Every structure is written in structure tokens, then in C-alpha cells.
Amino acid sequence: MTNNLQATTTLSNGVKMPWFGLGVFKVEEGPELVNAVKFAIKQGYRSIDTAAIYGNEEGVGQAIREAINEYGIPREELFITSKVWNSDLGYDSTLVAYETSLNKLGLDYLDLYLIHWPVEDKFIEAWRALETLYKEGRVKAIGVSNFQVHHLEKVMQVAVLKPMVNQVEYHPMLTQAEVKAFCDSNGIQFEAWSPLMQGQLFDNPLLKELANKYNKSVAQIILRWDLQNGVVTIPKSIKEHRIIENSNLFNFELTREDMDIISSLNENHRVGPDPDNIDF
């Protein structure tokens, strides 16, 4: 399974996606962003996850280009994800949004393009656009984000291709068991955003106990739990020591019992919006 930072899962279309990557949610444009992304790539990260709404695609693109030039890493070894925002959902507008993201990133293609939120009456047309991009060879894989089971079913009723990835809020207090089971049984790779619950789990007594037991940080315990659950994960960080710490997950394994203990923390508690009640 996952024994190093470049370990990959194979998506339903055969594309290999790293199990672990760097998220850049809410990281503003500027040198700090560029340096963090470059540092992560230098440390062995190969997956970078951004989105149109984050407003930082240009900085991410700059970092990627500089990393390719300075470290001699081929573009093909990197896995770059972006997402179409709600206001751009629709067939033509999604195609335009993809071009805009590519231009800002300065790339010829994306490895993964996602519909960011399941806006009713809009996501079906957006999915058709993603299928077009995929068929034209403009993107390596397509998927969705924040989709519940009924959203996925709706897409799959009309889709030629089913989503290859579903990226959702996922952490020990929100295990989304029903959505995960549906994705697992339909060959849709499950991916976690906000895996560390924006730092809100760092003081959890049970997780601290496990961190002591394994001589790891609470963050490392949670991220290892993700990986052992077969969940791709992209913790956000701009601090170099955190980027290193977060990726130091491959020299220990949680027991089945400890995995279950972590899962039992679930309270269906969200830090982000509820996909069934979005008004943005």
C-alpha cells in the first residue's frame, strides 16, 4: 500500500494518483505560497491541490514551473488538481473556466479537474463539460467534490463516465461512512479535504494518547488513519516543518483496533458547509 510519499492509487481509468499531497486552501498569492509549494515538491510531494475560488492558481503555477526547472522534476511526475467554482457551472461556462485555470497555472493540462460543489440544476451540465474535456484528452481524470450519495447517483444516471474521485470533508469527527461505502463500491476514489479539521482535533485526549503510543504527532496519527482507510489526503500547510511532519507517515502502522477507536470519534460534525444546504 502506501510506503512512501510517491505511492499512488490507480483511478478507475488507470491514471495513477498520489495518496498524499499538499492542499493550498486559503493560502494567498505571494512568495509564501510559491515557497511552500516548491518546498513540498523538493521534499518529495508530487500532488498539489488548488481551485479557482482559492485565487492562487497563478502562484501555484509559478511554483510548479520553478520546481520543474530547478529540481529537474518532469511535469509528468506531478499531479495537479483544480476545481470549477459554482458561478461557472454549466456546459460552456465550465469549459471556459477550465481554460482560465489552465492559463493561470501556465500548464498544458490538469491531472484532475473537479466540480467544487453540487449546485442543484447546474452540476449535470458541468459534468457533461468535464466529460468533453476528458474525451478531448485535455485532462487526465475528472471528478467531483462535496457530493453526497444522491448527487453521485444523479450524475451517474446521465453520465457516460462516472466520477473518478470524490473529494469531501473527512476527518475523525466526520467519517461520512455512507458516502465512502458508495464510492468504494462504485470505484470512485475517496479523497479528504480538511483532514485535520482545521487543527481542531490537536487537543483531543484520545488522539493525544495514540500519538504518545506511536511516538507521533496527532496530525500524523490522523493522516495515517486516512491512508489506511484507503483515503487520498491533502493537508494544507505553508510551514516547512509541518510540510515535512505531515509527510512522515510511512514508517509506522496503526493497529486495526486503534483504527476503529479513531473512527469511533465520528459525530457527523462539519467545519465546512453542508453540501445539501449551500447558498453560495
Distance CA 191, CA 180 (A): 9
CB 179 within 8 A of CB 189: no
Answer for the pair 113, 139: CB distance below 8 angstroms, yes or no: yes
Euclidean distance between CA atoms 142 and 81, whole angstroms: 9
Decide the pairing of beta strands 142-145 and 112-115: parallel
What is the separation of C-alpha 141 from the centre of its chain, rounded to a whole number of angstroms? 13
- pLDDT beyond 60 at 148: yes
In the chain, % of residues over pLDDT 90: 95
Angle at 163 between CA 162 and CA 164, to 5 degrees: 110
pTM confidence score:
0.97
**Average pLDDT, rounded, for the chain:** 96
In a 13 Å sphere around the CA of 169, the CA atoms on its Cβ side amount to 15
Least confident of 2-11, 155-164, 185-194, 265-274: 2-11
Domains delineated in the chain: 8-263 (3.20.20.100)
Looking at residue 4, what is its pLDDT? 87
Q: Helix and strand tally (H, E) in the chain?
A: 10, 10
pLDDT for 1: 52
Q: 220 by DSSP, 3-state: which?
A: helix
**From CA 221, how far away is CA 233, in angstroms rounded?**
13
Lowest mean pLDDT among 20-34, 122-136, 196-210: 20-34
Q: Residue range 80-92: average pLDDT?
A: 98
pLDDT of residue 26: 83
Active site members: 54
Task: Tell me which long-range contacts 276-279 makes (C-beta under 8 A, separation of at least 24).
Answer: 276/148, 278/86, 278/117, 278/118, 278/119
Q: What is the mean pLDDT of residues 45-57?
A: 97
Q: How many angstroms from the chain centroid is the CA of residue 208?
A: 25
